[in-house]
Amino acid sequence: MVRASQIAAVSDLHIVKPETERLSSVFCFLSSVFCILSFAFCLSGCDEPQDTAPIWEQVKIGDLAPYDGNKAQQPPATKTIDLAVHVFEVPADNIKKLDKIRKTFYVKPLRLRNYASFNADSFLVRFGQNERWQEIQDLLRAADAQRIANVSLMLPDAIAETVAVIGLDRPQSVFFTAADGSRQAANVGPGVLGLRIQAETIPGSRGLASVTAFPVFSLPTERAIPELDARAKMREFPFTTAAFGLNMGPGDFVYLGPKEYFSDQTALGGLFFSNPKGNLFFSQTKAPEFKPTVRVFLILCTGMNY
């Protein structure tokens, strides 16, 4: 019995062993084939490396900058028109010396809101360009003009600024000529009478801006509270019948002054241009003396950012 079992066991072992060896041989054969194919693929399918520039020659300066995830995106640059407003005072008895400016400088390309009203209120405006900038300053100097203010404006597109001209310390009536030619009164004050200036870019005209200006009464300061600020703006009075406009580029300038001398401080032209209290003037041949004066303005375009 024992021998029979042993013979059977030995017989079973002889049957299993060859099968295992065959499986092992097959696995080894497949592995060898895979290695050969992989090697052949690499030889035939992979391109040879091409000559390239060193990596440090391909890096841009921006690639070296560290990334800042907290850095806010920069807003686009604001369009601005830069103006310099020079304010002069001229002795009232020298106003005839300003006639040469009226006669020799240009009316074009100026536009007036209402010519009759502008003229009736004694407003006068002329245009010049960079090559005549020194000439107009010489003419003002010949009339003994003294510079009393110099205001630099950086005007965002279509946003106005006001240059203060004279303060009104009490309520009063200011008479002006309406568009229909009638004489009307604006009840204003206390506050500031100023020159409001606005500039707008012109689509398709790089280097030019549409500039408008007119006298305006307004309260002296803006309110931080929107409701109060809106209420203050309701009390403004724009004298748009004395408005003028033109297209300006860098180097262009505008002369604004009175057509004649008015000392009446209830008339728009007299209040805006004249200073009856006067200013102190010096002379090489006379002692310093106070003289009534007239104000004149030079508005120069100094640059554009757009």
Residue-wise pLDDT tens digits, 197-254: 999 999 988 889 999 999 999 987 655 566 666 666 778 999 999 999 999 999 999 9
C-alpha distances (whole Å) from 238 to each of 38, 248, 255 are 88, 23, 20
Q: With a cut of 80, say whether residue 136 has pLDDT above it.
A: yes
Residue 58 domain-assigned (yes or no) = no
Domain that holds residue 265: 80-305
Least confident stretch, 138-142, 156-160, 255-259, 278-282: 278-282
Residue-wise pLDDT tens digits, 16-63: 444 445 545 544 555 554 555 454 444 444 444 444 444 333 433 333
Least confident stretch, 101-105, 184-188, 268-272, 302-306: 302-306
Residue 47 domain-assigned (yes or no) = no
Three-state SS at 106: strand
Residue 35 domain-assigned (yes or no) = no
Residue 103 domain-assigned (yes or no) = yes
88 closest CA partner among 289, 301, 279, 263: 279
Query: β-strand 191-201 against 183-188: which pairing, if any?
Result: unpaired
Residue 12 domain-assigned (yes or no) = no
Return the ∠ at Cα 244 (arms to 241 and 249), rounded to 5°.
165
Q: With a cut of 90, say whether residue 121 has pLDDT above it.
A: yes
- The whole-number pLDDT of residue 200 equals 95
Confidence of residue 182 (pLDDT cuts 50, 70, 90): very high
Residue 140 domain-assigned (yes or no) = yes
Q: With a cut of 80, say whether residue 196 has pLDDT above it.
A: yes
- The whole-number pLDDT of residue 28 equals 52
C-alpha distances (whole Å) from 210 to each of 70, 158, 245 are 40, 9, 7
204-235: buried (b, 16+ CB within 10 Å) or exposed (e) per residue?
Answer: eeeebbbbbbbbbbbbeeeeeeeeeeeebeee
Confidence of residue 3 (pLDDT cuts 50, 70, 90): very low
Q: Distance between CA 201 and CA 214 in Å, rounded?
A: 19
The structural domain count of the chain equals 1
Residue 21 domain-assigned (yes or no) = no
Residue 247 domain-assigned (yes or no) = yes
- H helix runs in the chain, sequence order: 2-45, 55-58, 61-64, 99-104, 115-120, 133-142, 226-234, 268-273
